Amino acid sequence: MPVEVQARVEELRSLLHKWNHEYHVLDQPSVSDAEYDQALNELIRLEEENPHLQTEDSPSQRVGGAPLAVFEKVEHTTPMLSLGNAFNEEDLRDFDRRVRQAVGDNVSYVCELKIDGLAVSLRYENGLFVQGATRGDGSIGEDITQNLKTIKSIPLRLTKSASIEVRGEAYMPKQSFNALNEQKEELGEEPFANPRNAAAGSLRQLDPKLAAKRNLDIFVYGIANPGTTGIASHSEGLDLLDELGFKTNNERRTYSGIEEVIEYISGWVERRPGLAYEIDGIVIKVDSFEQQDELGFTAKSPRWAVAYKFPAEEVVTKLIDIELNVGRTGVVTPTAILEPVRVAGTVVKRASLHNEDLIREKDIKLGDYVIVKKAGDIIPEVVGVLLEKRTGEEKDFHMPTHCPECGSELIRLNEEVALRCINPECPAQIREGLIHFVSRNAMNIDGLGERVIAQLFQEKLISNVADLYRLTKEQLVELERMGEKSASNLIEAISTSKNNSLEKLLFGLGIRHVGAKAAKTLAQQFETIDRLKEATVEELVAINEIGDKMAEAVVTYFEKPEVITLVAELKELGVNTTYIGPKPVNVEDIDSYFAGKTVVLTGKLEILTRNEAKDRIEQLGGKVSGSVSKNTDLLIAGEAAGSKLDQANKHGVEIWNEERLIQELNK
């Protein structure tokens, strides 16, 4: 191998590292994108021709390696603890008072933006990036090194030959998030709810090439074990991270008093929407490491830091119209059509109005300027009207007397607030029933989003759930924006769903009053759909948690001739109608903290999904309830826990965070 080839490879790597740092960390590019790409392509070509020259820290590694089979577990040498929360000025002053009581009045605080992303740990040996991991449960995370290498602001080689472990927040910029969701909507897929979920989902892709396409970024905010660096404070640590080539957030400030901290926070409440990335609060840390050591830790968080959480963001926009939607049970729901407005990280064009009574109660008129917020930063809703902005041109809204889809007369059942269409042939109900059938908690058919279902229904390729299992690849490729590969994947996903356990099918069928939990109870009890079809009301109500209304609804459903025909068709098409999950748990046989206890989950969980947590608690003999009462034994509070947390405190219910839950689940 000519010496000049090796020299050229080293020259290209050096240039690309420099240009990458200038562009992604300093935001000061010195070359054009075309020149960067040309150099990178030359490096990739030379490394492919000379494989022995490839190195782990080469810029070529950022394009994504081979797909992984599974993420390996990583034990953190220094635990990644969560922070205690503050929600108002009083909480912040209480934090300051506790700090000063412990270390005296000579204290400084570093304030940093709380990036809404995924906490990660990065480990370097002799200046080279060797491992990156998720936070996990704080003690054990997952090795996502290959995916993290695709984030161009993470240095693969430091400016100094240091061995160090740092912590940071990987996130998806707003621009990348909006582009990704537009792409998902075009494909008929469910968009991500917020940039944080998008970032977490991207970094947990088993194929690094997919992660590379998501354009993630990172801010590094701390050193795992700063005592080995010889520095004396957190602010010095951040300066050191800058020197080593990491990207830190330059909006950090150091203050000597809590009132200055509060003023800093107030400024960011207003300036937050102008950032290119999402933040959900401000982190306040005692600057001195000596004072941090003196303050120490609780079992779950440091006493020297607190996270101030922003209140739910509220914005003002104009209500253009009210659209009516007919659900799978026939309920007609009004939805506000808004002038597009950004709230809590996403552009909102629609918001829930729930029902006619709420519209009357809040005196909402067409053309009003309304206040919109996201409940728990997820569901947009109209919370009020700006009466002072009325011009007199606003118009009252009246709910229709007939179904907007099929024209049938709308009724109120048993003095319900909701108006309902009871025509079983209503196209909207059939379409919504199909969407429910393929949803994640039901048959979970990946790739069958609302847009694709609507297309299939409009083209008269499906009229009931059995028709889904008759679809062919040839029919699918005829649909707009459906290629050969997408059609093949969809046919495979439909086929895979045939193997689901009975409870998924029961929930998907949309039997009135039967939710996911009741579907599982019925499936465990009767084991096959044929036995359930023959059950009487008396047999059903004898089962714990099955009441009169649900029992009558189940019996009535399976008496319908069209349902008898549908079940026969599904069986003929190879859909499993037998329960294949774990047997019902006998609480008396389980040695578990959860056995016999009633548990409520609230807020956003970081590590487990809500369903995963629910399933694991139930496997250990617990009962997961949707509401807090005096009979609740335990509340698991994730981020943005709301009224359920207040109710738990009121009833004296024991409260755990997610870390504590995982510790107990892993016993």
Catalytic site positions: 114
337, containing H or E segment: strand 331-343
Compute the half-sphere exposure of residue 337: CA atoms within 13 Å on the CB side of its CA.
8
State the helix-helix crossing angle for 502-509 and 427-438, rounded to 10 degrees. Answer: 160
Sequential DSSP letters for 69-118 = SSPPEEE-SS-----EEE-SHHHHHHHHHHHHHHH-S---EEEEEEESSE
CA distance 640 to 291: 30
Q: How far apart are CA 371 and CA 363, in angstroms?
A: 13
The separation between the first and the last C-alpha atoms of the chain, rounded to the nearest angstrom, is 56
Within 10 angstroms of residue 651's Cβ, the number of other Cβ atoms is 13
Helix axes 561-572, 548-559, angle to 10 degrees: 70
Which residues lie below 8 Å from residue 640, measured CB to CB, with a gap of 6+? 309, 376, 377, 603, 604
Q: Which pair of structure tokens corresponds to residue 439?
A: 């949803």
Cβ(651)–Cβ(643) below 8 Å = no
**Residue appearing with tokens 């990491």:** 246
- The residue among 239, 288, 281, 248 whose CA lies nearest residue 264 is 281
Question: What DSSP string describes 12-25?
Answer: HHHHHHHHHHHHHT
- The pair of structure tokens assigned to 315 is 């914005």
Centroid of chain to Cα 590 = 32
Burial of 324 (0-12, 13-18, 19+ CB in 10 A): middle
Measuring CA to CA, which residue among 272, 239, 285 is closest to residue 112?
285
Report residue 594 CA to chain centroid gap: 26
Q: What is d(CA 541, CA 522) in angstroms, rounded to the nearest whole number?
A: 11
Q: What angle do CA 560, 566, 568 make, to 5 degrees?
A: 110
State the burial class of residue 143 (Cβ atoms within 10 Å of its Cβ: 0-12, 13-18, 19+).
middle
